[in-house]
Structure formats: C-alpha cells, structure tokens
Structure 1
Amino acid sequence: MDDDLRDRVERAAEADALFNALKHGGDAQVGAIMGPLMGENPEFREYGDEIPAVIGPVVASVNDRSPAEQRERLEEIAPDRVAELDADDDEDDDPLGDLSGVDAVEEVRLRVAPNPNGPWHIGHARMAAVVGTYADRYDGSFICRFDDTDPETKRPDLDAYDAILDAIEYLGFEPADVIRASDRVETYYEHARRLIDQGGAYTCSCPGEEFSELKNAGEACPHREKAPETVHEEFDEMVAGELDSGEMVLRVKTDITHKNPALRDWVAFRMIDTPHPREDASAYRCWPMLDFQSGIDDHLTEITHIIRGIDLQDSAKRQQFVYDYFDWEYPEVVHWGHVQVDAYDVPLSTSSIQELIAADDLDGWADPRAPTIASLRRRGIRGEAIVAAMIELGTSSSNVDLAMSSVYSANRDLIDDDADRAFFVRDAPEDADIGPAVEVPVLDGPEAGHPPVHPDHEDRGRRVIPVGDAVLVEERDRPDVGDRVWLKGFGCVRRTAEGFEHVEAETSVIHDEGVDVIHWVPADRAVETRLRTPDGDVTGSAEPGMTAYAPDAMVQFERIGFARVDETADGDGPLVAYYAHR
C-alpha cells in the first residue's frame, strides 16, 4: 500500500470511526467500521488484509477524544456525516424514518428481490419487514422479484421460491406481484440490443485477467470501438448459445478512466454452461448479470424506492450508466449496513447452512439450532415479533446487531396471555445444573394437584394432575432429608427417608421461610416428551394433560419457558415440542 492510498484509508476511517463513536455513544471498533469503509471505497478491498493495521491507530485516536471533541472533528472533516447523525437523532421515535421523494411519485412502489438459492435465514427477514412496513405506511405496494439469473454460482433451489413466499406471508405481508427474472430473459435481450444500437454496449472476448489489467490501468480494451453491427452479430451468437462459457461477454460502455475501477465497462451478459434448474429457463445459456437485470426490472416494474445493502453501492452507480443511456430516472435508494445476529453458533449464511444440512449436522432448515425463518416459525415465534425487532434496527448505513432477546420479548407479549401453563420435568443426566429426573414416593396428602391453567386468568380454571404413588422432580429440586419444598398446585411436603410427606402449611412459608416452589409430574402417568432447543434436545416427562394439546399449540413449561407443540404423543413416540424462549 503506497503512502497516498494509506492517507486516503486513514481519512475515510477517521470519519467512519467518529461517526460510529458518536452514534453509539461509546468507543468505535475496527470491526464495526470495516464494512462501511469497504462498501464506500471499493478500491480499498484488495488491501483488506492490510487495512485493519492501518486504521487501528486511527480508531484508537478517535476513542481518546471526548464526545465534544469527536463531534468538532467530524464537523471539520465530514460535515455531511454530522447532518446524518443529527437526522438519526431526530428519528429516534421512528427507527425507519421517512422515505425521501415520496411526494414526487404517484405511488410508492418497492421490491423484495431475493436470490432463491435457499430458504431464508433470519437476516433476510429484515428486507421484507422494512419494505412491507414502508409499503403499508405510504399506502403503496411492493413486488417480490426473484433474481434468479445465475444458475451456476448462486444456483436456484426449486423449493426456495415457495419457501420464501411463505416466509413473507408469515411475516405478515403480501406482495402485489411475484416475478421470476428467469422468465424475463427475452426482455433483457431486447434492452441489450437497444443499448448496442445507442453505442452503449460492446462484445468483448478478452480473457478476464487481461481485461482486468487494462481496466485497472484505465486503458480501453481493443473491442471497445466495434461497429454496432458487429456487436449485434456477436451478441446474437451469445444468445444462440454458440459460444463457450468465458469466451465472450457483453459489456456496458461507461468511463474507462472512472476513479472507481469497479465501474469501468462492467459485464452485462455472460455465457453459462450450467442449465437453469427451472425447466422453462433451462435452454438459455446467455444470462444477464444482476446489475443489468435488476436495473432493467426496477424501471419496467416502476419501482420508486430501492432498499439495499451498503455493499451494493456500486450497483446503483453501474445501473445509472444504463439509465442515462435510456434517459430513465433512477429510483430513490436507501443503503443500509449488514445485520448480525447473536445467540447462534451457526453462521448467518445460506451456503453454510446448506453445508451443515448436507453433512447431517442440522436436520433441515427448521432445526431449532439453525438461524432460519423456518426454525423460528417452528419454535412458535410469530412473524410480528420478528418484524417488530427488525424495524427497531432502522436503516442505518452502519452494521447493526440483532439481539434475539428483542425478538423473544416481542413474541412474549404476543403469546403469554394465550399460552396455558404445564409442568415438564427434564431428565438431563449430563447437565450438572439440572441433573436427571428422580422419582420420589408421595406418602400422603391430596390425590391430585390443582395448579392454575393460567395464573392471570382464573376463569380458565385449574388443571387436575393425579399424584399417584410417586412424583418425578428434577434432581436439583429434590431437597435434603428433613427440608421442605412446595409442589406447585399440590402443597408443602417434607422429604423424609421414605419420600415426600405432606405438611400442612400456608403459602406464606414460601416468602417468609424461603420454601422453594418446584414443578413435578406423576411418575406413573407422565407423558414422555422431547423438547427441541437451540442448544440441543432435552428429554423428560410432561404432565398428563399435555396429551390434549394439538400441534401448533403454545404452552409455557413452568420455570423453563414457552414451547410449541410439534407432534402429539402416540404409541410409537413421545410428545415433541420446540422451545421458543423464556
């Protein structure tokens, strides 16, 4: 890295670090500013291994300043970032803020544009949540456009189309239209030919490495000034599938000396030998690149506002060249940072999840250990809870962290009132905290326990749990001989050498004398249960009344958490429930 580039990196990093520190009220972090730095300055990317060492001292210097000094310095070097910071402060009550340019359009139209290379993970939900919310707010609409014109490196998964549409519906939204880009290839060809006629595109057979050297040097490739007639002929050969993969591309003619090399004469079409998995599209071999396809579609479907990742800033700039050739007006654009999710060991990556499933490390997209929409849905997390948490993240250009606790909190508010209570005694011999379930004889006392169905709704009555000759409790809850516990819904018992002996006592002993309240199930009528959790499966026994619950019912296993019934118990297997959260 030469001195000039180093100076540019340090200046850009200082602005990003100052903004990050002021926005979040704490120290800036090298990792937090790497994303925006690379997204806004693509020429830095090839030096990605060196940049952290360069910006580390810059970030440390920023953190040594007081907030007042940080703001003063940011006003000096990047006043527009101060304005952005103040605008964010003004929008604290509305994390999303208003879309710009709304008054200039007849109808706000947005789009969700997934690549259907797999079902959605949690991060994907942010786009649908924000786009759907904006469409509702402005009485507008959005389309779902499947950007599936890469049958090779991001090969579409035929099951993902419906899975993604189901996910959007689960989140509470309905697209006005559904489009598959692979159905529109002829439309892209038509616009490529129009671009050729205007002198805006040319066919290029330079080897990739050779063109890259020319591009980086700001030199035109020898094919750039071909006559349109020749370009048409060669593009027709591409469309007819007469050329091999890598033999020729169609490039958009931009500015070969543009300060950003990534924008210089970019590829619009290429040859791909791998057939598309959709039968209707399998005959095509000349495919548009995403920037060309997406740009054309955004105009033809009258999209007024685009929301996309900050790493795609170059896409807007590339597409602007095409829009200028056609004299089109580019939509308003919001660029946001990436969302990162805590609480999972599995990477937030479609390809990584697919690999884990293929290796049998996950048992599908709905595995509770997977950070996917299908998993959250199966665990009983409502779509509204995910949307609420995503909206709170706003549309900042900085990377943001989604705490799953915010999703769980929103979901708790939605389900708590309706979820009946139940007992589930875990049998966890490898867990030092819980321990195995232990059977304790009950020597006397009532024939049944009667805990409430829901503590806040007396009108829903009480459960009837026959005690029988013995109960199961978790090992950690079994008191020492001579000590008392309160079996919830049954009463106070003292442990003797023979078992639990019922003790007449008022509930005041719980608070006044520190008698613990524990859950339990009858040993002879317990329901074998498997609770699937993000940390792994837990086996145990549930109270007999759980046999009455159908799949999809939500219950709260007392002292454990909420769970969704997935499979009812039968003669061949246990009751299966998926853990939601505490």
Structure 2
Amino acid sequence: MPSVPLSPEILVRARRLALENAITHGGLPRAGPIVARLLGTDPALRHDAPAVQAAVEATIREIAALSSESRDSALAALGGAETSTPRPVPSEEGTFPDLIGAVPGKVVLRMAPFPSGSLHIGNARMLFVNEYYRRKYDGRLLLVFDDTVGSEEKRVDLEAFDLILGDLELAGIHPDAVYYKSDRIDKFYPWARRVIERGGAYVCVCPAETLRENREAGRACAERLQTVEQTLEMWERMLSGGFAQGEAVLRLRTDIADPDPAFRDRVLFRINEQAHPRVGHKYRVWPLLEFSWAVDDVELGVTHVLRGKDLVVEDRMQQFVWKLLEIQGPPFLHWGLLRVREAKISKSKSYREVKSGLYDGWADPRTWSLRSLDRRGISMDACRRFTLSFGMSLSDIEVPAETLYAENRKQIDSTVPRRAFVARPVRVDVADYPAELRTVELPNHPDRAELGVRTVPAGPSFYLARTDLETRLGLEVRLKDLLNIQLPDRLAPDASHLSARFTSRENKRIPRLQWIGADGATPVDILEIDGTHRTGTGERALLDAAPRDIVQFERVGFVRFEADWSTSSRPVRVVFAHG
C-alpha cells in the first residue's frame, strides 16, 4: 500500500510524545515507544507504519538539537504531557469476508507447509487466518505436509515434520487431521492417467534450452502432437524407469500462446531419483504441488482454499485440471504479502546456517521462526493479533517490527517487573555519599503498586553505563529515583572506574542515569536479535527470576530468561525481545 502524507494532527502528536519521552527520561527519545503509541491508538496508521516511523525519527533529530529548557517550553506549548490520556482499544481484527457458500459445521480448510524447517513469522498468516475461519464456521482444519520431492536447492528435512507440529502446538492450533503427500503419491497417478485420456497432457522430452525458446516464442514442441496412446505409453515408461531423471516430464496441455508464459504447458510430474526422508526410493515420479492439490483438495473434501495471492498461477492450474475432468473444486480466497521490514527471512539460508551450526538451532533469533519469537518473549497471541489486524487485504504490506512489538507490549507491559541493567559498566565511587542511603526501596512497576517493591543495595559505589558517562562528563546528573551527583570532566578510554561527588537529593530536571549498586551487581549476557551478545551488569534481584520469566530492563527493553538458565549459573542469560 503506497504511503500517504500524514495528517498535521498526527505529526503534532508525534512531536508531543517525543518531547514527553525526552523530558521524562532525561535524554534523547526512543522511536520505538513513540511509534507504538501512535499505532496502538490509531489502528488505521498500521497500513502506513513506514511513514509513521520516518516522521518520528525526523522529529527525534529535531528535538536532539534543543536544550532542556526549550524542550520544556515546546511541550508546554502543545498542552503538556499526554500520559494521562487513556488509550482507545483498537479492533483486534481487520476485515474478513464471509466464505462463499460456507455452511457452519461443514467447512474444511487446509494448511500446507513445505517441511524444510520451522515455521516463521512469514507463515503466520497461513496459520492464524485458517484458524480464524475454522473457529468462525466451527469447521475442520487439516494439516497436509507438502513433502513431495523438490529441487536440489529445496529439500524435505525429516526434522521439519516434528518442528512444524511443535510450532502449531506453540501457536495453540490443533489440526483435526494430519496428512503427508509422500503417503499419497499412488493416489495421484490415476488422476494423471485421466488427464492424459482426456487429451490434457503429454510427455515432453525437450532439452531445457529448446523448451525455454519455445515457451518464450509461444511455439509448441513436437511432443505436443502426441496421441493419447503415445502419451500413455511414454507415461508408463516414466513410471517403470524407461527415462532417467531430467529426460522426461508430463506436461499439462494448456494454451501455448497464453498471455502468461508461466502458464504455458506447465509440468504436472517429473522424475526425481533422490531419496525421500520418509519413503526413501519408493517413488521416482513425483507430482508438482499444484497438481497434487488439484487432487487432494477434492479427495480430502476441502471446501475453501485460503492462501497468498502469489499462488494465483497455481489456482489456474488446479482450475484447469478440474474443468478438464468436469469436477467442481473449492473456491480460492487470497491475501497479499505481509512483510516485517527488519525480518530478512530466507528459510533456505536459515536451513543452511542451522545445519552448519552457525545458528543456535531454529530458535535462533535470526531465523524469525515462531519458536525464536517465543524464546524472545513475544507471545503467539501477539503474533495472532498482529496478523489478523491486517484482515484479508490483497495489498502487499510492509510494516516495521515495532507493529508486532506493540501488540506484545500491550500484553506484558502492565504485568512485567522492571529491573536495572547497564552495558559496558564503569564503577563510580561517590564522595560525601549519605550514609542512610545504603539501600533503597524501588517499585517493581512504576504504575502497578500491587506488584510490590524490592530492596536494592545502593551506594556509595555504583555501576553506570560507559555511554551515559561519556556523553555527560562535567554535568550534574541524577541517579534515577535516588540522588544527584557531579561527574568529573574526564573519563579515560580504558578507565574502569572514576570518582564523583554527591550534590543533593532534590529531584531536579537534569539527565537521569540508570545505575546498579556495586554491592548488589551480577553479570548479564543479552542475546540480541542479530545473534550478537551485549554484556553488562544487572541488579541482584535478577537472581530471583525463573527460566523463561520476562522482565523489562529499564531504558533498554523487554528480555526473556533463557529456558536452560538456572539461578546458580553466571552470567544471567536473557534474550532481547524489543524496546
């Protein structure tokens, strides 16, 4: 969907939220939370999320040049902070048309993943849209593994069958029946014979180069003139081993001058001698997926086919076969491509990296698999809401990952405890430190008193993030929720500690820095989305967490504890979810 200019009201609100964020946190605002609030309160903006992201980033660049006094004045001119403004609850779902001729209790749908690895965020529409309609019509949902033998580059992986079943369990989707195409190959051969007997197919032995030239020119090859008897004889030779791999294919006899070259005499079956991980060398002649679906959508009783618009040519193929055989097949309903901008998804690349050991299995964050999102702390319900919010639009949509994160944040923000973390820590010893502030009580959540408080060790020695110190040398700063200190003018590049001086406890409008009391610190390792690691220091309360717990590192973002982490091991190991 093309971008349109954002309204002046949206631009003003973006500026207001950015100013509020900068003043509240005593530094540069972060784009993520601002974009999330804009998208969360106006669902219509989700279709133009890139423009929203760009507008927010431009606003942040402008605010960066303002002094703290100028920021205060600018926010006041816009009516002050918006924190008390209630958020409207957006609709959970986009537009979903009724299924043509659907009868409650009689609808049968199917999911058809190719088993080459774990399902990823790009497959979410297949899962959640089919499940949506299954529930709407109290129907049945079939899982049919599209495990016909493919190309050398696209291979069936035995492990993927269990991975996909586990992915569905994780997503809370329970198919009513499970089928494997590799168990049904014998059922496709009689259908091929029927197509041949109707004059709808022929065996082609053209070299690849000749075929390419003929197709581009809209010219028929000599084999297209075969009689039914000749084709049947050559078909039997294909089945019995009379042709080697690559020597012959069975083609559908369409219109050689069809406006779409991709539809001209498409392949129905080809010979492939590679072993299948489930059935070995039992079969050597394999159907292409679209022909297998022309068969199975009828034999399995599928009433409606829901899938991406990128498979429209496959629709035509199925419909051509059904018309030839005088069969009424199910109708098709399509959705457009939904891309998450930051998710550079390539299942073939992920497969190679997982098998080589470069990736930490299919739960590695770089795969963007559903299990990797779960590992990060992004719930399947958030994935479902994110996916369904776009409805069945045929438009191709690209959105920032923040759109998904906003859905997850709605679910966890009010219940997840806050904890302190600083990266690249530098020890700061504070002179004249008040003796009565050796410990301090901090709320577990700034807005949820019922989540209680925790007692954390404070000064006189702290760990502060090197980046925070380097950008505020010589300034008076506030240790968040504690007191104010005066920083020195210099910090040597290799320095591991420095000295500062206590100034006051007054809550001034000065930069606020996250801190960890040196007596209550523990090492932390954060696995980032790109597979790198961020190390630092966290507060001792992290050791009270359980595996897979989620916390928010203040000024950093939400993280989930690794499933195999234990409180007796160091460092604390977590995976970054989002800001």
TM-score bracket for this pair, using the shorter chain length: 0.7 to 0.9
Work out whether 1:122 is the aligned partner of 2:101.
Answer: no
Query: After the TM superposition, which residues 170-249 of structure 1 pair with which residues of structure 2 at under 5 Å, given as runs?
Result: 170-249=170-249
Q: Secondary structure at the match of 2:454?
A: coil
Q: Is the 8 A contact 2:114 2:156 kept in 1?
A: yes
Distance 2:226 2:487 in 1: 97
Higher mean C-alpha deviation, range 297-306 or range 451-460: 451-460
Q: Which residue of 2 aligns with 1:390?
A: 387
Look up the match of 1:539: 535
The worse-fitting range, judged by mean Cα deviation, of 300-309 and 349-358 is 349-358
CA distance in 1, matches of 2:4, 2:428: 53
Q: Which AA in structure 2 matches 1:185?
A: I
**Which of the numbers 467, 470, 473 marks the counterpart of 2:458?**
467
Instruction: Tell me which of 438, 448, 458 is aligned to 2:427.
Output: 438
Tell me which residue corresponds to 2:578. 581
Partners of 1:112 and 1:128 within 8 A in 2: yes
Q: Aligned to 1:234, what secondary structure does the other structure show?
A: helix
| Alignment partner of 1:555 out of 544, 547, 551 | 551
Residue 522 (structure 2) aligns with: 527
Task: Give 3-state SS (helix, strand or coil) of 1:335's partner.
Answer: strand
Partner Cα distance (2:453, 2:397) in 1: 45
Deviations 1:277-303 (A, max 9, x none): 22x243211110111112211121222
The structural deviation recorded for 1:564 is 0.3
Does residue 1:485 correspond to 2:506, yes or no? no
Cα pair 1:167 1:373 within 8 Å, conserved? yes
Query: 1:424-448, CA deviations, whole angstroms, 9 ceiling, x for partnerless residues?
Result: 1211xxxxxxxx4334357423331
Q: 1:219 to 1:342 in 2, by over 3 A?
A: closer
The structural deviation recorded for 1:215 is 4.4
Whether the 8 Å contact between 1:425 and 1:437 is mirrored in structure 2 is: no
Matched residue, 1:149? 148
1:410 and 2:401 matched? no
Letter in 1 for 2:426: A
Match for 2:175: what amino acid?
A: P
- The corresponding residue for 1:368 is 365
Whole-Å separation in 1 of the counterparts to 2:465 and 2:215: 69
The DSSP-based 3-state class of the residue aligned with 2:129 is: helix
Alignment pair present for 1:420 and 2:401: no
CA contact 1:121–1:349 (8 Å) conserved in 2: no
TM superposition shift of 1:26 = 6.2
Contact 2:420–2:554 (Cα < 8 Å) also in 1:
yes
Q: Give yes or no for the alignment of 1:162 onto 2:155.
A: no
Distance in 1 of aligned mates of 2:5 and 2:234: 57
CA distance, structure 1, for counterparts of residue 100 and residue 304 of structure 2: 9
> Do the aligned residues in 2 keep the contact of 1:193 with 1:232 (CA within 8 Å)?
yes
Give the conservation status (yes or no) of the 8 Å contact 2:362–2:371.
yes
Matched, 1:283 2:270: no
**Cα offsets for 1:132-165 (capped at 9, x unmatched):** 1222222223222111112433201222222222
Q: Report the residue type matching 2:452 in the other structure.
A: G
Q: Measure how far apart 1:493 and its partner are.
A: 4.1
Kindly report the root-mean-square deviation, in angstroms, between the aligned alpha carbons of the 2 structures. Answer: 2.9
Change (3 A) 1:389 1:94: closer
Q: Where do 5+ consecutive residues of structure 2 fail to align? A: 7-90, 489-497
C-alpha distance after superposition, 1:24-44 (max 9, x if no partner)? 5469xxxxxxxxxxxxxxxxx
Q: Secondary structure in 2 aligned to 1:577?
A: strand
In the alignment, which residue of structure 2 is the partner of 1:70?
A: none
Structure 2 match to 1:51: none
Letter in 2 for 1:467: A
Deviates further, 148-157 or 468-477: 468-477
Match of 1:7 in 2: none
- Judged with a 3 Å threshold, the aligned counterparts in structure 2 of structure 1 residues 351 and 240 are, in CA distance, closer, same or farther, namely same
8 A Cα contact 1:493 1:500, kept in partner = no
- Offset at 1:225? 4.8
Identity value in percent = 33
Which residue of structure 1 lines up, in the alignment, with residue 52 of structure 2? none
User: Deviation per CA, 1:148-206, whole angstroms, max 9, x where unpaired?
Assistant: 11243320122222222222332332222222111111111122123233333332223
- For residues 435-478 of structure 1, the C-alpha deviation after alignment (integer angstroms, 9 at most, x for no partner) is x4334357423331211122333233211213365221223445
Distance 1:437 1:109, change over 3 A: farther
Cα deviation for residue 338 of structure 1 reads 2.1
Q: 1:463 to 1:306 in 2, by over 3 A?
A: same
Q: Which position in structure 2 is the counterpart of 1:342?
A: 341
Is the CA contact (8 Å cut-off) linking 1:182 and 1:281 kept in structure 2? no
The 1:260–1:496 alpha-carbon spacing in structure 2 relative to 1, beyond 3 Å, is closer
Superposed, 1:211-360 pairs within 5 Å as: 211-278=211-278, 280-344=279-343, 347-357=344-354
In 2 relative to 1, CA 286–259 (structure 1 residues): closer, same or farther, beyond 3 Å? same
CA distance in 1, matches of 2:373, 2:476: 41
Distance 1:467 1:548 in 2: 18
Query: Which residue of structure 1 lines up, in the alignment, with residue 19 of structure 2?
Result: none
Cα distance in structure 2, aligned partners of 1:545 and 1:413: 24
Mapped contact 2:423–2:536 kept (Cα < 8 A) = yes
Letter in 1 for 2:549: A
- Flag the 1:328–1:281 CA change in 2: closer, same or farther, 3 A: farther
Amino acid at match of 1:438: R
Equivalent position of 1:96 in the other structure: 95
- 1:95 is paired with a residue whose SS is coil
Other structure's SS at 1:96 match: coil
CA displacement at 1:263 relative to structure 2 = 2.6
- Cα-to-partner distance string for 1:335-388 (whole Å, 9 max, x where unaligned): 3332222134xx322123334556766444333344332321111000111121
Contact 2:104–2:137 (8 Å) recurs in 1: no
User: Structure 1 299/496 Cα, relative in aligned 2: closer, same or farther at 3 Å?
Assistant: closer
Q: Is the 8 A contact 1:291 1:318 kept in 2?
A: yes
**CA shift at 1:100, angstroms?**
3.8
> What number of residue pairs does the alignment pair up?
479
Q: Which moved more, 1:283-292 or 1:348-357?
A: 348-357
TM-score if structure 2 supplies the norm length? 0.75
Counterpart code for 1:564: R
In structure 2, the residue corresponding to 1:187 is in which secondary structure? helix
Shift of 1:324: 1.4
Find out whether 1:378 has 2:369 as its counterpart: no
Structure 1 residue 410 displacement after superposition: 0.7
| Most deviating of 457-466 and 98-107 | 98-107
Q: State the AA in 1 paired with 2:305.
A: I
Q: C-alpha separation between the residues in 2 aligned to 1:475 and 1:250?
A: 67
* Letter matched to residue 321 of structure 2: V
Preserved CA contact (<8 Å) 2:523 2:538: yes
CA distance in 2, matches of 1:161, 1:380: 24
Amino acid at match of 2:400: A
Shifted more, 157-166 versus 196-205: the winner is 196-205
Kindly indicate whether structure 1 or structure 2 has the higher relative contact order, using CA contacts under 8 Å at least 6 residues apart.
2
State whether residues 428 and 499 of structure 2, in contact with CA within 8 Å, keep that contact through their aligned partners in structure 1: no
Q: Provide TM-score, normalisation by structure 1.
A: 0.75
The farther-off stretch of 494-503 and 523-532 is 494-503
For the residues of structure 1 that align with 2:105 and 2:480, how far apart are their CA atoms? 65
Q: Using the TM superposition, give the Cα deviation of residue 230 of structure 1 relative to its aligned residue in structure 2, in angstroms.
A: 4.1
Counterparts in 2 of 1:241 and 1:452: CA distance versus 1, 3 Å: farther
- Which string of whole-angstrom CA distances, capped at 9 and with x for unpartnered residues, describes residues 484-538 of structure 1? 52443xx324348895666774xxx43xx31444332232441111011225321
- AA paired with 1:394? G
Q: Match for 2:509: what amino acid?
A: G
SS at match of 1:102: coil
Distance 1:438-1:225 versus aligned 2 partners, 3 A rule: same
